[in-house]
Structure 1
């Protein structure tokens, strides 16, 4: 009971619900449609208006716009969302991680259709290997999400939800070309016929070396990769479905000294960084619905990730196996929706040519969550997960049990006002695969020794207001407050040439707020504004406690004018405040702007062009990212764009 009271107090102090649904036909119709957005990440299939957990949605329309800008992966979808930050971790390879509420990427759980196959050795490349072409929705939970998703969801969870086949066939094709030498060709096809259905995604990406500041080092690495993801569906009757899918992604990225990569090496031109990866994920999902609206779901995934990192005179490679099994049952009563289940997760990393960093973990978890419709205006959600985790490496083995309670509530005050409150506990088991070690290609990193899991408590509170200012103008605002405390955080220490992890005695504390405002005029003009204030500190530091590479203030602006099935214009602006680097110096603040246009012709064909960062903000405008000597360089931390202005355009076909 004391823990539950603590959760309520924490959430009340810090932390609320915003959804990015966009009007289509009329203000009145859209207000009705807003209630009908179905949320999958809580596993209850409830509408967003009746879900106590705070969830933001990025819908198919916005995903389609972002695919114009970056068809290869979802980084642009996340980069331009309020409260999310895509952090590039390598100047030459382009690797990146996603931060929520200012916390490192390892604290956010990335999911594809609810499967957590993107952690550990794969984490630095994960968002670069998820294409947006087959997505119908992205759901973002900010704040603790461990009750349903277990370890790693301290800062939140991001669930990328794929399209499923319908009776009407869907065929999408995209061809994109950019001024920095990127070519993308993608196709998505799906259809359901009677008891059978299929969906298939195919995407090929090519990128040439790009050196915007002519310093002989690439800002964008040379790369080629492809993804093929077929899924097959069987519907023996109206209440039962079976899905079997397999996703294969293969990539090769090589950046560094332009002459060395082009085969013109000499004593002064030798540096490169190469990443070769193969990811294969097989998924099986069985869903059975009963007459009383109850349902049973079984999910199984098996993922293999093979990666090799090469730089001059050094190589690091490994093979990561991840298996996930989840079985759950959903009860629908008159005023209660209860979901309970259990899952198993196995993760095993094997280093090639050495066993020094081998590590594995096995997690057994059980969970239950009850959503109680107390009245039409108040809905309460309580949950509890119990995880038992055994993790080990060549130095030690540890077993820990975690109790993860959660509480959330939504209050629908009237037709215009609503509010949400929520809080919960989380944990993250120790791993050497972090943003800092990724930057160093895992050189001189020692195996973990006698460290404990990081544990957290966090919460959010928000208030929503929406109204029709006039017959043609819809206005809405969401104000959210958040707070997270991570105890015993894992920090990287250095002794001589060796790097090793310890548990810090003092916590990391992140708190702040987000403000999201929308104006929609005559269904055609849409203005979005999002502001994020983040105050995140590492209390174990004695001088500057602010987390590095984290702006305290960020502002997102977007103005869109659209005539449905005709054309679309968009102007975007983003302000990023000063950031501290690891050496406690500060970066300049900066604005960046973008413009996109899309024109539909002959109903099924459209052409698009995108001017991303047309003000040409890039880090080399202030100082070279690469430091001498040329044949053995070091690199500054990445705090803004490295490639500068990017123009791309192409054609889309939708049949």
Structure 2
């Protein structure tokens, strides 16, 4: 399978007598980590920046594919087969996804579908690892991924226009068009992406279940800016995503839009205000057997932020805002609403010439759960010109979501139901045993530690080492409540009264004790010479549930093996499901400036992991379980510039066609009544691109 891409690119420039541009290399600037512009190398916390050049070199068009190539980032599927991004072993529920600093809504089982986010019109992607709730609140407990879109920043380029198309890959057609202009005080960026697929199947053994069913979608974005004076600027931006997909089982329609209005008021050279009003909505409708399932979530967020340069060595940021969150869902009795109000502050200063300290905190007050206070302290010290150390400790939290409080999902044909904590207390109000069930869930919380070194022993070699630990408390977990309702007769009688059959299994949610993730991450950047450069990354990850460890230490957990029953020890314990102990990548880039030719090879590795307990060891993942085997994916791209007019690019993703076929004898895992394929279904993909410059 393959595709071919064509790009038309046009720029209109000012006629300037001397149009030379300095080639001085500037340190990359990021804004996500501190909500203010900072040089990447000077930050006291672990941050990854993916530049536009890296996006173009990879040849990818979807955010998911770009993130897969970053050290310590893994894409994992849950029991419902939805996919999300995992960082430092922390699940997608706790990773905040932003576009230009503003959140995306519309999670499926806690996961944002990253395939619907095109890299069209992206300037750079910034990834902050570890708790970031001190600036961003809930869902940033494990980190933040911020997608920064393009905006005109120079008067030298008056306008630009580009068109990119690709087609053929797994029956896919992708078309991008972008335009950018700056006219006196007015600037704008606009783009559209059209994407469709006829569907494909990588599992011919099960023709009734295709890997991907046909779909078609489009994404449009617009950003306008106007400068009223040197003290006042206004920006408005919007994004619209629409997708239709039909399968033999259902017809699905999804619409996602957001709109943001911001005024930047500069009081003086040292003091400014940002006034923001953001609105977004995600609506999904699925029709199955004539019945419509609806998911309709909206978020309104007004916010005021001020930035004050106290001195040449100190900057203060403070702000306040509110979240008005609403969700209407078929499995809810009625529309549910959240209201949250927050204040935050951050002081970034240099008490010594070589010491940078960032102190931040945020307080969130909510109408449906306990308030949360999220402090964070980060420091960086330059020991020598080539060695510096950095460390951070922060508190993160995640609010209980609508589903965990108000769910009323009934699958009576399979003999089970899932109720949110508020719902089950309403339904079982007459049962005296209801007091055994938790009603008000606490926010999940974590303390994250990151400590590392930045080393540059040579001008052409740099290394980053980071050691991390995340302790998560009050983790919200699903559990079966029947046994807690004590009297089986009362349970079954009451079940009939609320429309359930006798013997129906009833599930709800509760806070449980601690889990942890910890490990080491190493990143290397080595410029061999003017033509060759190597980038590498590796993460070792250790995870565990402290309650499971106590259970193993009690000596009461046994597993059946081919030889005999084995009592588990901590040495046998593997950790949390869907976590690989080893992940890594190595990338080789070659540039031949004389012949205007470039190429790169990128290898990505993930070691074995377990989807679920397969040997009835009380839900514990151990070395005797069935694992999905480790896999190695190799991608390559070659590019040639011809006559200074256009570039040809050809690439292959997953050259070895890694599919996880070593697990074929496993067939599938049975997890909570849901079958999960053991085969990885990566597939091999060819693509090409032609870029014209005028």
Question: Shorter chain as normaliser: what TM range?
Answer: 0.7 to 0.9
Is 1:220 aligned to 2:249, yes or no?
A: no
Q: Do the aligned partners of 1:349 and 1:359 also contact (CA within 8 Å) in 2?
A: yes
d(CA) in 2 for partners of 1:497, 1:309 = 26
Distance 1:460 1:235 in 2: 41
* Residue 653 of structure 1, CA deviation: 4.3
Other-structure match for 2:89: 102
1:580 corresponding residue in structure 2 = 610
Normalised by the length of structure 1, the TM-score is 0.83
- Normalising by structure 2, we get a TM-score of 0.79
Query: CA–CA distance in 2 between the matches of 1:624 and 1:254?
Result: 31
**Shift of the alpha carbon at 1:52?**
2.7
Does the alignment pair 1:203 with 2:203? no
Once the two structures are superposed, residues 568-608 of structure 1 have per-residue CA deviations (whole angstroms, 9 ceiling, x without a partner) of 21111122111012124222122221111223335453332
- Which of 40, 58, 62 is the aligned partner of 1:48? 40
Q: 1:355 to 1:89 in 2, by over 3 A?
A: closer
Q: Which residue of structure 1 lines up, in the alignment, with residue 433 of structure 2? A: none
Larger CA Rg, structure 1 vs 2: 2
Distance 1:80 1:357, change over 3 A: farther
- Give the paired residue count: 588
Aligned partner of 1:613 among 654, 663, 675: 654
Could you tell me how far 1:123 is from its partner in structure 2? 5.3
Is the Cα contact below 8 Å between 2:608 and 2:630 reproduced in 1?
A: yes
1:512 to 515, 519, 524: 519
Structure 1 pair 361/155, CA: closer, same or farther in 2 (3 Å)? same
SS in 2 for 1:400: coil
CA RMSD of aligned residues (A): 3.0
Post-superposition shift, 1:634? 7.3
Please tell me whether the aligned partners of residues 614 and 645 of structure 1 are also in contact (alpha carbons under 8 angstroms). Answer: yes
CA drift of 1:210 comes to 0.8
2:664 aligned with 1:623:
yes
Identify the range of structure 1 (542-551 vs 588-597) with the bigger mean alpha-carbon deviation.
542-551
Of 298, 308, 317 in structure 2, the residue corresponding to residue 321 of structure 1 is 298
Q: Equivalences for 1:231-630 in 2 at 5 Å? A: 231-254=223-246, 261=248, 272=249, 275-310=252-287, 316-334=293-311, 335-352=313-330, 355-356=332-333, 358-391=335-368, 399-431=369-401, 444-449=417-422, 450=439, 451-468=441-458, 474-494=460-480, 500-541=507-548, 542=551, 546-563=575-592, 566-583=596-613, 584=621, 585-603=626-644, 605-619=646-660, 622-623=663-664
The CA distance in 2 between the partners of 1:454 and 1:380, in whole Å, is: 27
Q: Among residues 68, 71, 75, which one is paired with 1:79 in the alignment?
A: 68
8 Å CA contact retained: 1:316, 1:441: no
Change (3 A) 1:299 1:247: same
User: Does the 8 Å contact 2:629/2:662 carry over to 1?
Assistant: no
User: How many angstroms apart in 1 are the aligned matches of 2:411 and 2:234?
Assistant: 41
Could you tell me how far apart the structure 2 residues matched to 1:378 and 1:582 are? Answer: 46
Q: 1:59 and 1:622, CA in 2 relative to 1: closer, same or farther beyond 3 A?
A: same
Structure 2 residues not aligned, in runs of 5+: 1-21, 423-438, 483-502, 553-572, 614-620
Whole-Å Cα distance in 2 between the matches of residues 320 and 122 of structure 1? 14
Partner Cα distance (1:572, 1:185) in 2:
25
Q: After superposition, give the CA deviation of every residue in 1:17-45 in whole Å (9 maximum; x if it has no partner).
A: xxxxxxxxxxx987x623x5343441222
Match of 2:26? 33
Structure 1 residue 623, shift from structure 2 partner: 2.5
Write the distance in 1 (CA, Å) between the matches of 2:506 and 2:666.
23
